[in-house]
Structure 1
Amino acid sequence: MKRGKFLSVLIFSTVLIFNSVQAQIKTESIEDWETGNMSQYDWQTGGQADWYITDQDPYEGVYCAQSGLIYDNQTSWLSLEFDVYSAENISFWLKVSSEQGWDFLRFYIDGNMINDWSGEVSWQQVSYPVSAGTHTFKWEYYKDGSISSGADAAWIDYIVFPPMEIEAFFTTDTVYYCENDIVTFYDQSVGPITEWYWTFEGGMPNTSTEQNPEVTYENEGEWDVILHVSDGVETSTMSIPDYMTIGSVPEIAPTPTGISLLCASWGSSSYSTTGMSGITSYDWLLEPANAGTVAGTSTNATVIWDENFLGDATLKVAGINYCGVGEYSEPLNISVYLPEVSLMLIAFVSISTPPFQLTGESPPGGEFSGPGVSNGMFDPAAAGLGEHIITYTYTDPNYCTNSATDMITVTEFTGVYDQPDYDELVIYPNPNNGNFTIKAGIEINESVDLRIYSTLNKIVFEEKNIDVNQDFNKNINLSNLAKGIYYVHITGSKTDIVKKIIIR
């Protein structure tokens, strides 16, 4: 296995004995279009109309090539670049049907016109000498500025080229594969190849005599590929060091780093992981899914937390390369929280009551705000008659802030009718989880209605015509309700009692 990739392609041709084949004269190459198309060689065609393959009156076999349909002062040409191994002749059969002396089939070698034909010419064979080396053969049908005659076309068939010089060449769909992938190598060698011998460093198999072999690589790395080809006389070799790059699925990624105790009001937080070699991107995974979303596909990512999420979450990361997604890292545990803040104020106060210190907050150390509030004191006269929302805001040592609210009602009375002492109606536990008990300490001596309201003044529980005496003890289950503050309201002809409860 090698590192430090560079590309070096070695192609060379020699006249050698290949697989113990005795030296012999190289054979000629033939184009007779019996494939039904122009795929046997790298033909090029152009002008105002392309040459095409036809089955109409070929010299031999089923097919021949015919010039395209053109008009005055137009051409249709067919050409091929050919590597000639040794000096020999090129021969071909031709036919012409054109205006005598004005419209021509012309034959060129390397841009030099060798001969031309005009009029009605039946199938005939011609031959011309060609030197060794690379040459361009071109057949062109030309029309002058006026008049057409005959079929107005030219045909060629059964071209015998000089012996062709072979050249080894191969390709793959890509040079980047993963461990145990199947790689197909495609022989693209030029010439009448009859034998192939491949060498695959690090591959299975590591050699092959197939034309287009399939190979797998068990280990990552960069591996050489060599192809030798032969036509029985000449051998050509193509060798590419470090041609194949074999990768593997990334290993487990390092655990992310970043803040693990997070205030929910901060909205977002940033995290990172240590980069790994060969990784194209990273996949970040936040669980549970309702905790928020992750932005970023690099070694750095930002979590945008859902504004309603509180609790524990985990963040993991995995590396991605062209072989797939690697194993996710160990999780980073993250706690998203808000300080637990509560506020329970007295429900009613007379407007004539002097300013007093607000209490009932938890934890201590925060600040009160709202109508009639100044430096933690509430002034009923400044607030005025009516219901007033008081807010208690607390910031913990982690600079995380939360708040709670409660309502004070300022009335004109010093009490609420002649109702019994509030202390004789007990609710426990309070705060609670939605399960609590209402107990009366004295006999009210009348039937009352019991209603429980949310802070939005919506009735969440109601029971009417309850006889209340000293043995009154009623359990209520509101565990299906959201956490928050609720009001217990007991009313009768002589009774109007309001108690506040907190469900946590």
Structure 2
Amino acid sequence: WLWAFTPSTVTYMNGTTSATQNPEVAFDMAGYYTVELTATNTAGSDTETKTDYINVADGMTVLATASPEDICTGDWSQLNAAPSGGTGTYTYSWTSVPAGFTSTLQNPVVFPLVNTTYHVEVDDGGQLANDEVSVTVNPLPVITLGDWPDMLCNVGVPPVQLTAIPAGGTYIGPGVSITGMFISSIANLGWNVITYTYEDTHGCENSARDSIYVDDCVGISEIKGDESAVNLYPNPSMGSFMLESEQEMERIEIIDQSGKMVMMRKINSKSTPISALRAKGFYFIRIYFKNQNALPTVVTKEFVIK
């Protein structure tokens, strides 16, 4: 026996050769092959040729991709199946793990909530090809806002440093500086909505917001040159003070370094003890009373707890 193939791009398999009666052959190229067999015995030989006898189609493959492969919670990704070879006429079948997604589109859009692997099977009518691609879903960063003050006066209050976890984001809102300082004197009267936005290393962004109320204190005259009319002692102290005034005081407010009001008390007296402050640091105390013209007046003093 003697086999011949045209073109000769064939490989004999499993120990068979061109002289084997029933060879196993792998065709290395697509196209039509002419097959020729010559049989020889003691009586002579004979050859039979079959032109374009075997049609070898291209082997079909498919490449599955996702763009992007890494997304944030709530985002989407575009799948793509890129087949090659075969007949050129394809149908598609997508499934997923975890289960729940199916599609017959070549390039479907997906909105996974968790990390998901997408499988695609392509059929050209005679062959099947498969591939898969995974999409990673990164959670949004969890934001915790700091202890922002609820209300501030528009005068006589130091800037307040806003804080949030994770740090490193941006603060946007009325009266907010580029460094995240809230300045009540330049903020809006009333409620000021402040938004904190943070983006993590995956490019996932989240935001949180809160409000600070700015009270109109323009009608309150602040005593500048007569602070001696109010006496606060001892200063510094361990947290207990005595407050005395020549005039009857209506109420007091104590503000910490962050601008947060930590105490408010109505007194209607010329003297009052102050205690229950334990945190060390600088504080401001506002003393409200009415002067002889019945106009609201406030004295602001600074004191220290050591």
User: Under a length normalisation based on structure 1, what TM-score does the superposition of the two structures give?
Assistant: 0.29
Q: Which has the higher strand share?
A: 2
